[in-house]
A and B are shown apart, each in its own frame.
Chain A
Amino acid sequence: MTGLLATTHPTIPDAITFVVSAMIILGGAIGVITSRNPVHAALSLVATLFGVAVLFVEQQADFLAVVQVIVYAGAIVVLFLFVIMYLGVDRQENINAEPLKGQRPMALLLIVLIVGGVIALAVNAHWATGAKSVAGSTTANHHSNVYQLGQSVFTTYLFAFEATAGLLVIAVVGAVVLARRPRLAAAAEREEEAAAKASDDHAGVTP
Chain B
Amino acid sequence: MTERTKEQIDVCAAAELASGEMKLVETPEGVKIGVFNCGGALYAIEDRCSHDDGPLAEGPFDAEACTVECPRHGSLFDLTSGRPKTLPAYQPVTTYPVTIEDDTVKLEVS
Are the chains A and B members of one assembly? no
